[in-house]
Chains A and B, each alone.
Chain A
Amino acid sequence: AAGVIQSPRHLIKEKRETATLKCYPIPRHDTVYWYQQGPGQDPQFLISFYEKMQSDKGSIPDRFSAQQFSDYHSELNMSSLELGDSALYFCASSFLSLENTQYFGPGTRLTVL
């Protein structure tokens, strides 16, 4: 079965640079979520989109922005990168319903030097 695709899988950036992470949801899923998992931490919710509209917002820094496109893929844009942004970034997708089970991608590991 098709899963959530994230690219790139690994990314190395310098401080103050910009990064763009991409997420391709499972076909027919209409909702995308972004989570950040720091080293040894639990995943923290950043933001979600349903039908290209922001549906929920968590602890996402102002330096980050995201959007969902007409083909339902999503991009997380991160500017003015800081060392503390080094983390594993997960994308999850779901079909919006009462159950709304989220299926996670493999993650993008971002390292900021």
Chain B
Amino acid sequence: AQSVTQPDIHITVSEGASLELRCNYSYGATPYLFWYVQSPGQGLQLLLKYFSGDTLVQGIKGFEAEFKRSQSSFNLRKPSVHWSDAAEYFCAVRTSGTYKYIFGTGTRLKVLA
């Protein structure tokens, strides 16, 4: 069965520091990959997505993610974190033949001033 793993439940970084959130998936073929952000009590906002082509994808709010087939990973990065980035981040996978998403358990980001 397909699965998504986000190894880090909580991450704390200082404002201005760089950020990397990890995401690993389990699926035989190349999946469709997404990162969403959820602020407290809010809905899920799409940050970026990967379907094919260039393995480095750019998203909104200065985020980027890199698809690495050899590592089955799709890590999210940001060079300089802002206090407003504090939120929960979900990696999601959609596999061919179905349109439902499978979400990881999320990583809660805390930003220190």
Query: Which A residues are closer than 8 A to B by beta carbons?
Result: 4, 31, 33, 35, 41-45, 48, 50, 55-56, 58, 90, 92, 94, 96, 98-107, 109
Contacts and interface: CB of A to CB of B under 8 A. Distances in A.
B43 A56 contact: no
Given A90-B44, A99-B51, A43 B100 contact: no
Name the residue in A48, A94, A104 with the highest tally of chain B Cβ atoms < 10 Å from its Cβ: A104
B102 A45 contact: yes
Given A31-B99, A42-B104, A104-B36, 9 more contacts: A42-B103, A43-B90, A45-B102, A94-B99, A100-B99, A101-B46, A104-B45, A104-B46, A109-B41
Contacts of A43: 44, 90, 101, 103
A105 B44 CA distance: 7
B99 A96 contact: yes
Contacts, number: 57
A42 B99 CA distance: 17
Interface residues of B, number: 22
Nearest to B90: A42
Given A101-B49, A104-B36, A45 B101 contact: yes
Interface in B37-51: 41-46, 49, 51
A103 B51 CA distance: 16
A55 B99 contact: yes
B30 interface: no
Q: Across the A-B interface, give the 9 residue pairs with the lowest CB-CB distance, nearest first.
A: A104-B44, A42-B103, A106-B43, A45-B100, A104-B43, A42-B105, A43-B103, A56-B100, A107-B43
